[in-house]
Amino acid sequence: MRRLTGVVGVAVSLALALSSCGDGNSSNGSGSGDKSEIIAIAADPLDYINPLNENGSPGIQVAMAVFAPLVTTDPNTGKLQNVMADSITPDKTSQTWTIKLKPGNTFQNGQALTAKDYVDSWNMTAQGSNAWKNNGFFSKVDGYDALNPPTPDGATPKPTSVKTLSGLKQVDDLTFTVKLKVPFSQFGLTLQYLGLAPLPEEVRKNPDAYKRKPIGNGPYKLAADWNAGDDIKLAKWDGYKGPNAPEAQSITYRFIANADTAYNEFLAGNVDFVDVPPTKVKTFKSDAPDGWVTAVSSGANYLVIPAWDARYKNPKLRHAFSMAIDRKAFADLVGLSDPAKGLIAPDIDGYRDNACKYCDYDPAKAKQLLQEAGGFSDPVMISYNTTSATGQIFAEAIGNMLRQNLGLTVKYAGKAGSEITTLADTRKLDGLRFGGWGHDYPSIEDYLTPMFKSNGDANFAGYNNPALDAVLAKGDAEPDQEKAIKIYQQAEDIALEDMPLIPLYTKSNAYLHSAKIEPRVSKYVGVSALYATFK
């Protein structure tokens, strides 16, 4: 599950590891005996469902039910498992990959699922002028640059005469090849990312007409007309032939902007599953003593510094900000959290304890670094998400540390999370904001390329360092996984030295579930209400 910017203290990752759980005997629920469930999502209602144009947590949660990936991580073994793919085969250099689809799969409109659907859908996403959010995923494919000409920072590329990636080739109805610019040993692992799901031909012809009428290839289809602000009602689709089909016959996703309100809806018996918001981490076990689950998140949370703002360009200034933050106190305030010690989630291969030498709390050293950086006379602006009950509290906690330990003037700006993201993406946001990341596939590379590569599709800070790009490319080309991890760690070291993102904390997430369901819990792919079993 991907980025969540402008927000702090909210779950951003699907990859979770079990920590503990209640016995599941809560009396809450939306009914008994039927295999239906209502899942609350604490976010503004979606405007559309299109996994190729979505890298935010709420939209991907729904898309997971409607669309199926090429491969997935097996929840029982942790090994890569084919879903729509029959085989994925690299050449000797890991630069050209052959993807063969299983026969007999269709979309929910009856159209056969073919290699052409993937090739055409990926080409649409790679076309920079479409401004689809998962465009950056295709930056490693031959021909990407022709579809994405140099563009001023924050602007959308203009349409090009070239409309297809030269590295994508359809071989036959069920086979296509992907030639990358350079070898990339992690590519097969990346194909479980839902942002690569195909769109059927009728949707590709007019995507806007299907914004609220998605036609997927996954286990659920739209069960009722969906208008802006409505619950999203899904019904099990009998045409799904992939592995690990969910048990529920119907699922309703209910969007509730305020996380505390969503939590209270669960306590009132109106929903079957909800994330525990930061305001309730001290009380959820007593609020629902028999219906809770906690899990360690494979996510990381940061303070984002705008690399496009010259006032923040001195690394010593960023180091000073980092060392002025008491991470233990802040993690205690967030709840179910631990101080971050690097840019990588602790359960990912390649994580190093205390990788970040500027993450120790040392106000005296922070003051010294600020002086060496020439000081900072302007007010520091911190933006926070007004739809989060704790957004202002957390912003002020960080602001107070900067004020008290560095003598800075701090101001705050409360905005909707979507507005913060838009302002940052267009380089118009003043000052700092919070950001979070949860991987799309379990690799240290996925904590580095999206956020720190110069054209990364979740480069929150607008950061650009050719030296880091070169190290990432070297890691990508290394077929030996252990050697590749060592190289990726070098890239992490560069990012920590430049520090466009200040690591803050890693956290456990907590969830409440009704008595009629038992969420699936896997140390490999996490806690899922979508794949709950019914009692």
Clarify whether residues 209 and 305 are in a common domain: no
Range of the domain at 142: 46-217
- Express each pLDDT in 53-74 by its tens digit: 998 889 999 999 999 999 998 9
Residue 100 lies in a domain: yes
Clarify whether residues 319 and 447 are in a common domain: yes
- Express each pLDDT in 420-459 by its tens digit: 999 998 999 999 999 999 887 888 999 999 999 998 878 9
Residue 7 lies in a domain: no
Contacts of 109 (CB under 8 A, 6+ apart): 200, 202, 215
Angle between helices 391-406 and 327-334 (to 10 degrees): 170
Both tokens assigned to 356: 């970040």
pLDDT in tens, the chain (535 residues): 344 433 333 333 333 333 344 544 444 444 445 899 999 999 999 999 999 999 888 999 999 999 999 999 898 888 899 999 999 999 988 999 999 999 999 999 999 999 999 999 999 999 999 999 999 889 989 999 999 998 887 788 899 999 999 999 999 999 999 999 988 988 998 999 999 999 999 999 999 999 999 999 999 999 999 998 899 999 999 999 999 899 999 999 999 999 999 999 999 999 999 999 988 998 999 999 999 998 877 788 999 999 999 999 999 999 999 999 999 999 999 988 999 999 999 878 899 998 999 999 999 999 999 999 999 999 999 999 998 878 999 999 999 999 999 999 999 999 998 899 999 989 999 999 999 998 878 889 999 999 999 988 789 899 999 999 999 999 998 988 899 999 999 999 999 999 999 999 998 889 999 999 999 988 777 789 999 999 9
Both tokens assigned to 505: 């904390």
Residue 252 lies in a domain: no
Both tokens assigned to 168: 């994508």
Residue 521 lies in a domain: no
CA distances (Å), 130 to each of 126, 369, 428, in order?
Answer: 8, 43, 21
pTM: 0.76
Number of structural domains found in the chain: 2
Both tokens assigned to 372: 């060496």
Clarify whether residues 208 and 93 are in a common domain: yes
Clarify whether residues 212 and 301 are in a common domain: no
Domain boundary among 182, 217, 252: 217
Domain boundary among 176, 192, 217: 217
Strand (E) or helix (H) holding 261: helix 259-267
Clarify whether residues 201 and 305 are in a common domain: no
> Taking the alpha carbons of 419, 420, 425, 431 in that order, is the dihedral positive or negative?
positive
Residue 489 lies in a domain: yes
Domain boundary among 217, 243, 260: 217
Q: Identify the CATH number of the domain in which residue 68 sits.
A: 3.90.76.10
Inter-residue contact 259 to 42 (CB < 8 Å): yes
Residue 64 lies in a domain: yes
Q: Identify the CATH number of the domain in which residue 417 sits.
A: 3.10.105.10
Contacts of 150 (CB under 8 A, 6+ apart): none
